[in-house]
């Protein structure tokens, strides 16, 4: 087929791109303004999907074997170089079908040097690992076999590479994992002491639940332990058997911290009622005093109580959302606006995010009060 030309000079690149077809090795070139052609000696640094809106892209893509294109698309930053290697070397195609991440690691290491990348793909897989400065053992290859093949995990490729360092061999901590997911890699990077524990397994299998970050939740639990005087909160978490047990521990430590802090940090003016703002409804009730605010903080396990001074001084208001789910609403007072209020937060238990239905209910309630205020300005 004729070459695929991508006119990106008018986008500020200073050159256009040209790519040969699959049967001609997918060689790429920069077409400079002076008419010269410079061969691309490595990758592009972005996925080919960015080029598929240009004329001729469909024909160019369609002559690349679909299984090969799909396998490389999981590593967009290195996709073009991986395809170039696969077009020119059967060994690269073998890597794509057996251990595609190994080919991606080659391209990450030699992203601007096709010559060195070409040398590596022609070597044995253990030798490739050694040349990349990684552990060249069979155990390391078995680890790569467990790594999930997904574009999401490819964004953590550098973290995966760090696990394969020949001096530390941190990948060995994953020996009992059936699959190495994105969640397990990120968790190991953030909380390495949990890798291989029962809690670590549970968190890796669960991934990120709706409404809150497990990383933030673990960090908060550790901070709570420190604040209430636990000598080694990390060792406590290492022995936790499940996510549910982690939640129970967090709640237990949170209760202890509140019991310790409320008597010591009780603010001024706790006997003053809060200024009334919007009328309460069946589903949304205003919090009217410090006792109610403190109870809301305890029930919802978040820090709404720190807004007491702002509320009592007329700069903030807090509400309970009772349905469609239990939430706390924070309203900021902004005197510079025609309608001097705005929604500051909608937070659930442990700062969980609201559902779309809850957002809609709160927004409708807020807009109703806005209309009433603007039609009857105080």
Confidence tier at 210 by pLDDT (50, 70, 90): very low
Q: How far is CA 44 from CA 1, 49, 64, 75, 81, in A?
A: 22, 12, 17, 12, 7
| 100-147 pLDDT, tens digit each | 999 999 999 999 999 999 999 999 999 999 999 999 999 999 999 999
Tokens of 66: 């679909």
Q: Global pTM? A: 0.70
C-alpha 281/C-alpha 29 separation (Å) is: 66
Q: 137 and 126 in contact (C-beta within 8 Å)?
A: yes
C-alpha 134/C-alpha 108 separation (Å) is: 13
Tokens of 124: 């044995």
Q: 194 and 206 in contact (C-beta within 8 Å)?
A: no
| 323-377 pLDDT, tens digit each | 999 999 999 999 999 999 999 999 998 888 899 999 999 999 999 999 999 987 6
C-alpha 99/C-alpha 102 separation (Å) is: 6
Q: What is the share, in percent, of the chain residues with pLDDT greater than 90? A: 70
């Amino acid at each position: 087929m004729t070459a695929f030309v991508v006119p990106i000079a008018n986008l500020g690149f200073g050159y256009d791109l040209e790519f040969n077809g699959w049967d001609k090795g997918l060689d790429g070139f920069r077409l400079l303004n002076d008419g010269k052609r410079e061969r691309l000696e490595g990758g592009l640094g972005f996925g080919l999907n960015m080029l598929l809106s240009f004329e001729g892209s469909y024909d160019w893509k369609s002559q690349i074997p679909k299984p090969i294109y799909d396998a490389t698309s999981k590593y967009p930053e290195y996709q073009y170089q991986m395809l170039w290697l696969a077009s020119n070397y059967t060994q690269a195609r073998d890597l794509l079908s057996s251990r595609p991440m190994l080919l991606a690691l080659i391209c990450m290491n030699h992203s601007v040097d096709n010559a060195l990348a070409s040398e590596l793909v022609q070597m044995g897989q253990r030798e490739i690992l050694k040349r990349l400065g990684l552990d060249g053992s069979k155990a390391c290859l078995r680890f790569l076999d467990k790594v999930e093949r997904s574009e999401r995990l490819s964004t953590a490729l550098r973290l995966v590479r760090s696990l394969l360092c020949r001096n530390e061999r941190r990948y060995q901590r994953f020996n009992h994992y059936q699959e190495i997911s994105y969640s397990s890699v990120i968790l190991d990077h953030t909380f390495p002491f949990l890798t291989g524990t029962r809690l670590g397994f549970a968190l890796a299998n669960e991934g990120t639940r709706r409404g809150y970050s497990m990383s933030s939740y673990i960090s908060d639990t550790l901070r709570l332990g420190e604040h209430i005087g636990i000598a080694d909160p990390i060792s406590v978490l290492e022995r936790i058997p499940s996510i549910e047990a982690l939640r129970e521990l967090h709640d237990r430590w949170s209760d202890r911290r509140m019991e310790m802090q409320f008597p010591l940090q009780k603010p001024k003016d706790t006997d003053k009622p809060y200024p009334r703002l919007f009328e309460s409804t069946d589903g949304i009730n205003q919090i009217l005093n410090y006792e109610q605010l403190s109870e809301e903080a305890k029930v919802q396990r978040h820090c709404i109580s720190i807004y007491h001074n702002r509320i009592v001084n007329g700069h903030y208001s807090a509400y309970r959302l009772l349905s469609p789910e239990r939430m706390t609403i924070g309203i900021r007072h902004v005197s510079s606006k025609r309608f001097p209020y705005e929604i500051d937060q909608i937070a659930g238990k442990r700062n969980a995010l609201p559902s779309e239905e809850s957002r809609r209910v709160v927004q409708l309630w807020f807009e109703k009060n806005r209309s009433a205020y603007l039609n009857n300005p105080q």
